[in-house]
Chains A and B, each alone.
Chain A
Amino acid sequence: MAPRPGSKSGDGDTASAMPLRYGDDPLLWAAWLYYEEGLTQGEIAEKMGLSRASVNAYLADARTRGIVNIEIAPDKFRSLSIAQALRDHFGLQDCLVIPTEGGDRSLIARLGAAGAQTLQRFVKSGDTLAVTWGRTVLALAEALDRPGLQDVRVVQATGGTTAKIPWTPEACASRLAEALNARSIPISAPATVSSPEIRAMLMQEPVLAEQLAILAEADRIVMGISSLRPESTIHSSGFLDGGVQHAHYQDAVGSIIGRFINARGESVIGPMHERTIGIDLDALRRIPQRIAVAGGVDKLPAILAALRGGYVNVLVTDVVTGRGILTAEGYKDTPRRSPPPVQAPLTARSHVKKLINAPQDAVDEALKGALLAHEHLIAALPGSPRAIRALEGPRAGKVGIVIGGGAGHEPGFWGYVGRGLADAAAIGNLFASPPPGPILAATQAVDGGAGVLYIYGNFSGDVMNFDMAAELAMAEGIAVRAVVTTDDIASSPVESRAARRGVAGNVFIFKIAGAAADRMLPLEACDALVRRANARTYTMGLALEPGSLPETRRPSFELGPNDIEIGVGVHGEPGVVRQPLAPADDCADLLLDRILAEMAPHEGDRVAVLVNSLGGTPAMELYIILRRVRQRLKSRGIEVHSSLVGPYYTSLDMAGVSLTLLHLDDELAGLLEAPCRSAALVVP
């Protein structure tokens, strides 16, 4: 360990306070105190008896003289909320945001250094790396130090220019190639030529054709983004003169790779288009990794346009520019340093923690787990992994029950597949109906010659896909009927009941259907009973917190710190009205009152109750609600036949609850009592 400056000797005489090993070099000492001991510049100034300005100068000097070598831990910067927001909003692979103000180096030099760090993390042996030109790109090349790579090619993204600037395409490419120990491939032609004819002729030259072919193989590109201001690189490098811009490029707000884009990121085609030699915007989009290094408020419209156009998937910029981009996109910034609100809204989180691997694998991996957990009950159909069949149940002469919908409702829908319940389920992507394929496969697998009954919630996608599957099945001679469930009373007024969504009440409706089919009732009778069950099932839900998709890991809607959303569906879609959070009993009453108003039960009527968690609400709260519902029903003189409490029909991690009442008659009660055995529901 290095000697630690004595705390006593720190006050007073500066010379005696300086440890011997630093000789009389205050620069070294200041650097040590700052970087190793973690003192502030003010503390160092006091300790060394210097002004803060001197300390600052020493520290800057220490960096330029290479005494101190600073490496930014990119994780720290990427985790800044602005970088995270930019990444999420534009679907970027990566984003690095550096402070706009910082020491004595220019923003361009610092962006270049940050860009160099970013590139160093990605560039691999064997890469073909395209590069544009400009001040920032040259700064990046100069800051880059990545020896040890093999077989890297650096290729100019455009032809060259004779402009009297140090950051020409040739200079940027050769400097970058040097830093990467790479082969440098020029584009042996001017970036702009005087006519489309000359361009066409040049393009036929074998040397140029070969160089352009290498360019087309680029794995990544490093590029700057130019504004169209008179002092910008696009002008100084001779790509555009004022007259041409005025006449043909009024819509353009920026330039990348020597091409012009409007505010929406669309290509602006003008006379330069057919006179430019180099990669074009469409070819740019095909490069897998497109690293843009650009900052400064003057470039903001150009950077925004490049992001909107999807030309960039790795961005290195500065805080002020990054925030400006987000503001322009309507993103609300949460102030970081203002005093925290009394109760921080959970929605202020930039992302939600999830136990997933790759987000796109979540549905299939969860389904595989479910199939293993319940391997004695269900299995996927061979060749149709999203069609889940009951191992026991389907049999000759029995109506086949096929249910289904999007994933994200676990244990829906596989949890309701089993003897006495559904015979098969088709499961789609997250919150998206399954396509006709798995529905048809399920239909074929469970058809016992007595026809198949489809039961699914009323969502336009499900209706389309189940309809298409039904048509295909009927063409094969399988009789198919469908009941589209509409139990969610919040989703549409009673006059347009058919427009309502089908939600957690499906649990009861599936049970009725499974029991009816298990009794070997014919298709028409099953269909009629299920319709009756649907007509007598009433559900209403409320959310305390929105859920979040694995892909976005962000809340699917915003809910204030003290608000609840009434009438939410089961897909993270917002509800019908919003009101302040109330005690559990009031919430239970709110749901129950609406349901009872529509159901209009008589004293002595029987109901089945489901208090369902939307995914994030624990059992404790569900039982508090159930207790209140039972109290209320008792006082109304309504008999409760049975109560289900738990996560039966979820909406990922949404916190909230739905209440379902099935208004029983004797026949429905008998069907509800019939034995069944599935992963989520067992009646002995």
Chain B
Amino acid sequence: MTTIQNADQATIVEELAAVIVANKAFLSEIDGKIGDGDHGINMAKGFGRAAERIHGKDMTLDAAMLVLSDVLMSEIGGSMGPLYGLMFEDMAGALTGREVIDAATFSTMLNAGLEGVRGVGSAEVGDKTLMDTLVPAVAAFDAAQGQGFAAALRAMAAAAETGRDSTIDLVAKIGRASRLGERSRGVLDAGATSCCMILTTLAQSVQRRLA
């Protein structure tokens, strides 16, 4: 198959939430090296609450993403609340009214999410933020679209991982870690890591439904 249905896909968002919740301690640990160590706690709180609210509901993917966005934006705060909140809100907007999601729709969704993040944050690739994961992952998906949906998802996940790992050698230019200068080099960025978890889980979840 080359498409998935939009209807009854709340479980995709639940799967995202499960991975974030499962990695709560790991994300906080990374964050603690150059940030304040609460990334996993806040992410797990937001994603976990959203998962509770959509669990067992018959929802489209965009409706479930909107629930997640709403929780992140209205209850979590910090920088991740608005960044991921707007990303999922704009992703959901790109899916609204679609019955099926094909590679082209998925690409529209990814690009909308990316623009959502750009709308609130000022980071660029190389600043040691989630953009180092998100930007190349979206580009990789678009570049591999010709090889089919599944292949494009795999390319996206691979690029997300490469992007995440690229933050190890970067010096933070934005956010709390930026005040550390050279001392921020040598560790993963927590936002880039959680973004990679989101994208790779999304890729796997959709791939399974394509199968």
Binding site for B on A (CB under 8 A): 88-91, 266-267, 269, 282, 285-286, 308-310, 360, 406, 428-437, 459-461, 464-465, 468, 490-492, 499, 501, 549, 551-552, 556-557, 567, 569, 571-574, 576
Contact = CB atoms under 8 A, between A and B. Distances in A.
Given A460-B174, A461-B81, A437 B74 contact: yes
A91 B77 contact: no
Contacts of B74: 435-437
B65 interface: no
> By CB atoms of chain B within 10 A, which of A460, A468, A573 has the most?
A460
A635 B180 CA distance: 34
Given A459-B176, A499-B178, A434 B77 contact: yes
The 10 A-B pairs of least Cβ separation, nearest first, read A310-B22, A432-B78, A461-B79, A571-B36, A91-B25, A491-B179, A435-B77, A461-B78, A428-B77, A464-B82
B18 interface: yes
Given A468-B82, A569-B176, 11 more contacts: A89-B29, A91-B22, A267-B204, A308-B26, A310-B19, A310-B22, A432-B42, A432-B81, A461-B79, A490-B179, A552-B41
27 contacts: A269-B211, A286-B14, A310-B19, A310-B21, A310-B22, A430-B38, A435-B73, A436-B74, A460-B174, A461-B77, A461-B78, A464-B83, A464-B120, A464-B121, A465-B82, A490-B179, A491-B179, A499-B178, A552-B28, A556-B36, A567-B179, A569-B179, A571-B36, A573-B35, A574-B180, A576-B179, A576-B183
Interface residues of B, number: 49
Contact of A285 (B22, B38, B76, B174): B22
B75 interface: yes
Contacts of A574: 33-34, 180, 183
A492 B26 CA distance: 29
B128 interface: no
A549 B37 contact: yes
Contacts of A89: 25-26, 29
Contacts of B78: 406, 428-429, 431-433, 461, 465
Given A465-B82, A491-B179, A573-B179, A429 B77 contact: yes
B102 interface: no
B179 A460 contact: no
Contacts of A91: 22, 24-25
A221 B73 CA distance: 35
Contacts of A573: 34-36, 176-177, 179-180
Contacts of A464: 79, 81-83, 120-121
B59 interface: no
Contact of B22 (A309, A429, A569): A309
Given A285-B18, A430-B38, A574-B34, A435 B179 contact: no
B77 A465 contact: yes
B80 interface: yes
B15 interface: yes
A482 to B, nearest CB: 15
A557 B35 CA distance: 9
Contacts of A286: 14, 18
B23 interface: yes
B32 A557 contact: yes
A501 B35 CA distance: 13
Contacts, number: 140
A319 to B, nearest CB: 21
Contacts of B178: 499
Contacts of B146: none
A282 B19 CA distance: 10
B183 to A, nearest CB: 7
B15 A282 contact: yes
Contacts of A269: 208, 211
Nearest to A309: B22
A162 to B, nearest CB: 29
Given A573-B36, A574-B183, A576-B180, A549 B75 contact: no
Nearest to B17: A285
B175 interface: yes
Nearest to A463: B79
Contacts of B21: 310
B53 to A, nearest CB: 15
> By CB atoms of chain B within 10 A, which of A310, A464, A468 has the most?
A464
Contacts of B37: 549, 552, 556-557, 572
Contacts of B76: 429, 432, 435
Contact of B179 (A266, A309, A501): A501
A412 to B, nearest CB: 15
A460 B42 contact: no
A282 B83 CA distance: 27
B95 to A, nearest CB: 21
A267 B157 CA distance: 14
